[in-house]
Amino acid sequence: MDKELLLSILPEVSKPTRYIGNEWNSVHKDHAQASLKVAFAFPDTYEVGMSHIGLKILYHLVNRNEKWLAERVFAPWTDMEDLMRKHNLPLFALESQRPIKEFDLIGFTLQYELSYTNILNMLDLAEISVLRSERSESDPLIIAGGPCGYNPEPLADFIDLFYIGEAEEMMDSLLEIIEKAKQQRWSKRDLLVHLAKMDGIYVPSLYDVIYDDLGKVVQIKPNESGVPEKVRKQVVANLDAAFYPEKFIVPFMEVVHERVVLEIARGCTRGCRFCQAGMIYRPVRERSLATLQKQARKLLNSTGYDEISLSSLSTSDYSGIKRLAEKLVDEYQELGVGISLPSLRIDSFSVGLAKEVQRVRKTGLTFAPEAGTQRMRDVINKGVTEDNLIEAASSAVEEGWSSIKLYFMLGLPTEKDEDLVGIAELAKNVSRVCDQIRRRNQTKPVNITVSVSNFVPKSHTPFQWWSMDSYQEIIRKQDILKKEVKGRGLSLNWHNAKTSILEGVFARGDRRLGQVLYQAWRNGAKFDGWSEHFNYDLWLKTFEDCGLDYQFYLTFPYEKDDILPWDHIHTGVSTDYLWREYQKSINEENTIDCRFEHCTQCDCCDNLNVAIQLLGAD
């Protein structure tokens, strides 16, 4: 790697600090002494990737082993890419500025379907063959993991193996085998066959997929003896004992989230039927108050951050949330350290909790009723009422909040136009009540922002069998909302329909999409999640050129006995449970939260031998 050349081009790019490394708490090791070299790759810009907690965990988890080294690499922005290609500079890791093709393995994080073309682009920039079938024995092993990995098929042509599930407890074992294979010069296929027999490892080359004349999957079967028919996700049994870094790398530039993140719990049993995270991260596990206080103290001392984010899928469901918040506020308030709660229920308790933790600085509040009518909230099993929302919003205004965001989804199963009008009516009712309180208390006006995203059916959810609205239908429904959501103090935000369509195609897709992905990338597709780079017409033409109808993936009606493209990936939650929930949604029936009443028989605890741990409870 020509470091002098690299330094000479950095003044020509925007945000050169994306590429220099050497940040506080970064780890630098001697490559000559390392028996295994891992590059963790995030297929988006530095400032996005450096805000991801999973990358922080894995980076320090690997680097705690003295024999191994882990470094980071992110997708260079287009100006940097142009200069790298012009000067023949291969994609490099930040810590050593060595080409990532010199590493033993490259691990990609799969957070968003629209980052897939960046994966291909990064491999090409690294001078590594994009197609796994064209790679040599000397090329690094290409691994991918993350929530999008629960439907790995669209990336099957490019990834050597997928890691399914949580990595903290199995990562060492995985890397030890790869290290052994390197030392004993195993062939790549022998290594992959060995790894494929482990829980949580999916090797797409060892599975054959058969389709019928309509393009529907009719069989997914291993082509190597001893390889399991279903790949079971890995689960960390005891979150309180799991590895968590005592240091975070502190970037030189502003990134999306600049704060200490405490993962207080993992998993959620609220059972929202559209929510993939609520299904794939079961069962619920918590960290104890003592562990979280210790982590907060060490991370604040090692980073200098002035904010602690209490992270989980449903923060206010943490059994010791009130005591934890009080302890953190009491300990750090005088130091000017704020506490943030990124995920709150719609109730007055959550508002009171927000008031308690935001003594240092007060931000806006976000509530997520998801749907505008009670019928639709029953369909999706949201478990909240309009009265809950009115009570929560009223409490917020009484406590001094003047900015409230209401989050909804458009295109949910069985949705009717009156449900869309219900979104506007609910927002107007909230605004009306808040304005009455504001007038009585003689405080400043309250701004209500209605934010509407487009429903995308995700794998391993009760709605995986449901089709998605067409582009034209999404636009029609957005027009209804634009007409209805009007009034003093009300504003409306909506999501790009075209990007949602592409997300839906890859979320429900099979491995035939690999040819589309490859050709779209060759035609110039990258940074598809960024509006200034997304080219919908390019994608439509690519589908046409490849002879695939993208509408098939959005609208094909699946039935219970159909083989879904992701059926060979097992999350622990049974298909029978998901189907029951799907049927209950059509009948507008609710399902209780198993933490507070009886077991709902989703099978994740029994199947995985993991009991729900409520370590923060009294």
- Residue pLDDT, tens place only, 339-348: 888 777 777 6
* 315 has pLDDT over 90: no
Please determine, for residue 324, whether its predicted confidence score (pLDDT) is greater than 60: yes
**Would the pLDDT of 497 be above 70?**
yes
Phi, psi of 198 (to 5 degrees): -90, 145
pLDDT at 3: 83
Q: DSSP H helical segments within 154-288, as ranges?
A: 171-183, 188-196, 276-280
| Whether 196 contacts 203, CB under 8 Å | yes
pLDDT confidence band for 611 (50 / 70 / 90): very low
Structure tokens at 19: 């590429």
pTM (2 d.p.): 0.95
- Look at residue 361 and tell me whether its pLDDT is greater than 90: no
H or E segment at 423? helix 417-441
pLDDT value of position 2: 81
Whole-number Å distance between alpha carbons of 331 and 289: 14
Least confident span in 289-303, 363-377, 491-505: 363-377
Average pLDDT over residues 492-500: 96
Is it the case that residue 618 has pLDDT exceeding 70? no
Sign of the C-alpha dihedral, residues 47, 49, 54, 56?
negative
Give me the percent of the chain exceeding a pLDDT of 90. 79
pLDDT tens digits for range 380-438? 999 899 999 999 889 888 888 888 999 999 999 999 999 999 999 999 999 999 999 98
Question: 250 or 349, which is more confident?
Answer: 250
Given pLDDT bands bounded at 50, 70 and 90, which one contains residue 333?
A: confident
Give the span between the Cα atoms of 102 and 126, in whole angstroms: 9
Task: Give the CATH number of domain 3-232.
Answer: 3.40.50.280
Strands 68-74 and 105-109, by their bridges, are: unpaired
* Coil/strand/helix, residue 617: coil
Mean pLDDT confidence for 173-199: 97
Q: Residue 609 above 60 pLDDT?
A: no
pLDDT of the residue at 480: 97
* CA distance linking residue 397 with residue 61, whole number of Å: 43
Q: Residue 472: how many CB atoms within 10 A of its CB?
A: 9
Q: pLDDT at position 363, please?
A: 67
CA 528 to CA 530: how far, in whole Å? Answer: 5
Query: Which of 48-62, 214-228, 298-312, 593-607 bottoms out in mean pLDDT, i.e. has the lowest?
Result: 593-607
pLDDT for position 616: 61
> How far is residue 494 from each of residues 20, 285, 409, 503, 531, measured CA to CA in Å?
36, 34, 10, 16, 14
167-171 contacts, C-beta under 8 A, 24 or more apart: 167/57, 167/58, 167/61, 167/234, 168/57, 168/61, 168/236, 168/242, 168/243, 169/234, 169/236, 169/237, 169/242, 170/198, 170/199, 170/200, 170/234, 171/58, 171/61, 171/62
CA dist 209 → 222, 232, 449, 487 (Å):
9, 18, 46, 53
What's the confidence (pLDDT) of residue 518?
A: 98
Can you give the pLDDT at residue 610? 40
The sheet with strand 68-74 has its strands ordered as: 68-74, 36-42, 105-109, 141-145, 161-163, 201-202
Tokens of 359: 């003594």
- The pLDDT tens digits of the residues spanning 116-129 come to 999 999 999 999 99
Q: Which of 457, 455, 385, 464 is nearest to 426 (CA)?
A: 385
The tokens describing 331, both together, are: 């300990």
Q: pLDDT of 241-269, one tens digit each?
A: 999 999 999 999 898 888 999 999 999 99
Mean pLDDT (the chain) is 93
Residues 53-71, mean pLDDT to the nearest whole number: 97
Which residue did the predictor score with more confidence, 347 or 32?
32
Helix (H) or strand (E) holding 263: strand 260-263
What is the sign of the dihedral through the CA atoms of 111, 116, 119 and 125? negative
Q: Within the chain, what is the greatest distance between any pair of CA atoms?
A: 77
Least confident of 187-191, 362-366, 448-452, 492-496: 362-366
Structure confidence at residue 444 (pLDDT): 85
Report whether pLDDT(608) > 60.
Answer: no
